[in-house]
Chain A
């Protein structure tokens, strides 16, 4: 038995006033929704970098020709270009500007997640060092070669003046931003929070995960009995959170979140999923619901041998057979520090459009999977949806979202 741990109190739901997502499927929510409805993988053979490994990637088209506006040019790098491209989706910038007008620039927080931020630009510099062994003259902005490149870029791009922080906890980064923002809103420090995350393809993650023997040579097959590892992707996603003061509007809600640590290993999950289960329990407690109320789970489901085994067992023992659980990594790839926000967006799309995605690329489910695990997508009402994100260092986060009417009836 685990020692008794404190149970968090329920939180007041937050409005998701706006959200957007950009991935290998395209720019904006409609592109991801279409790929999910069609069970269409956006993965392609790896063509990234000077010496590409034999694997598949989720690459965002057009970043090479994306230009940052002149006042933001000092931040130019692949990750901040993807942030800029992602902000263009779904009228998101207009929604942020409206919130800035409504509340004041200092009352809007910027809380963004990333695993590697602009390290790709640092890698580029190391391949082009000058005669003195220093970074080349055209790639020397200290604000780019640091994790907060993302947060400082987005704050500058949207002229926001509230608290601004970059959260970097590997693959749970852009899930945990919802938790940090909820605390700021609950304490009245701000009236709105721009949350989200961006991660881009770079040598560090492609060769790093390859060194850990976690990269598949084929498109990833989450929860497949013959899965052989992950496919790495890149993505950007953003959401605008506000307190639920407005009353009965139709915006979906953040109902709860749970954060925990595995206390087990730097790169392997706890074999019994104890950390993941604690994050789940915390999330349900903050949401004030039982597992039986969950219609859909967007699983972490990376297609690594260990993650999927542990996560499938957790779902099998904790949820009713009616809960539809699936992984969307076969569509977008594992977008690492952006996975939290991409899959939060996928969960919100399921709630708003009544489509529970399947697990794309997967042929035969691992026998450890329970009846909750689905390979095929299906139409159906999602009142409450969960999104799981688990990262290196044993860092776990579970988010709970709900349709506006379901949040009100809870």
Chain B
């Protein structure tokens, strides 16, 4: 049993990664673009249609659900884990803004005509619910939010679960475009989603590893470096981009410039230090 004497933090290994944005629809394309080796699409891709959903649901699903299930499935596939064996953490600053816009407009005009399906789709854990249903996963799932620190907060919860219970977990992060009157206060453009499977130990699937701690003197949110990542800065989940860029450009230089400080609160950050992966031959799981 761990106690206060335990080191405050831990390490995680990235065993699966996925990404989706309309101009970078998939991790391979995004990775190349973050490395400066490819350009984003000039014509935006249609939103993903996750195979996990039945045909009718694929069309009806809110954008958040379609995005989240697409990246979750891709990251889990790459990790080699069984989807139904992974606890999951879903993070989003604002949830499904189009469903919220529908709910609030309908309540303002004809409240008794609210659609029951869109009501249950308005819960912040809708994507988590659809994911666990589609994969038959009975493990714990959670849905969190922390405004502009939502990626850091989600990653902290994932890293904590991974370290505390010594199990691989799935992190899914997404935000969508603000629509309707909500767009007059809520800043978020386009669609952006990513997913990571993080594990407590190295495996032959591991593509990156980080030691993590809390740091109470952050220097401010890290900025995206590549033009491709900078073009996505308007999305409320753009806080995920510096970590994704770091993974895309590994192996890292090994100096202090590799250290990431993801904001958790006004004066607190999740500090991530890249760790060299052990040689592939010795990392069979």
Stretch at the interface among B32-40, B156-164, B202-210, B273-281: B156-164
B143 within 8 Å of A (CB atoms) = yes
Q: Does B126 contact A (CB under 8 A)?
A: yes
Contact B7 A188 (CB under 8 A): yes
Cβ of B108 and Cβ of A126 under 8 Å apart?
Answer: yes
CA distance A188 to B147 in the complex (A): 25
Flag whether B59 is at the interface (Cβ < 8 A): no
Q: Which of B2, B111, B125, B264 contacts A395 (CB 8 A)?
A: B125
Say how far B184's CB is from chain A's closest CB, in angstroms. Answer: 4
Q: Considering the chains assembled together, what is the distance between the CA atoms of A2 and B137 in angstroms?
A: 12
In the complex, A169 Cα to B92 Cα: how many Å?
A: 12
* Chain B 132-151 interface mask (CB, 8 Å, partner A; 1/0): 11011111111111110110
- In the complex, chain B residues whose CB is within 8 Å of the CB of A261: 128-129, 132, 137-141
Interface locus among A66-74, A200-208, A228-236: A200-208
Interface 0/1 of A126-142, CB less than 8 Å to B: 11010011110000111
User: Which A residues touch B84, using CB under 8 A?
Assistant: 263
Return chain B residues, CB-CB under 8 Å to A133: 181, 184
Q: Which B residues lie within 8 Å of A267 (CB)?
A: 116, 120
- Cα distance, A163 to B150, chains bound together (Å): 11
A267 to chain B, nearest CB (A): 4
Contact between A393 and B129, CB atoms less than 8 A apart? yes
Q: How far is the CB of B27 from chain A (nearest CB, A)?
A: 26
Q: How far is the CA of A146 from the CA of B186 in the complex (A)?
A: 8
**A155 CB-CB contact with B under 8 Å:** yes
Nearest chain B CB to A236 CB, angstrom units: 18
User: Interface readout for B163-186 with A: 1 if CB under 8 Å, 0 if not?
Assistant: 111010000000000000110111
Q: In the complex, are the beta carbons of A395 and B265 less than 8 A apart?
A: no
Point out residues on A near B: beta carbons under 8 Å.
Answer: 2, 5-6, 8-12, 51, 53, 106, 115, 119, 122-123, 125-127, 129, 132-135, 140-143, 145-148, 151-152, 155, 161-170, 176, 179-180, 183-184, 186-189, 191, 203-204, 207-213, 243, 245, 259-267, 274-275, 278, 391-395
29 A-B residue pairs with CB within 8 Å: A53-B112, A106-B214, A106-B267, A123-B103, A125-B181, A126-B181, A133-B184, A135-B181, A146-B93, A146-B145, A162-B268, A170-B123, A183-B165, A187-B164, A188-B4, A188-B8, A203-B107, A210-B114, A243-B4, A262-B133, A263-B133, A263-B136, A267-B120, A278-B138, A392-B126, A393-B126, A393-B129, A393-B130, A395-B141
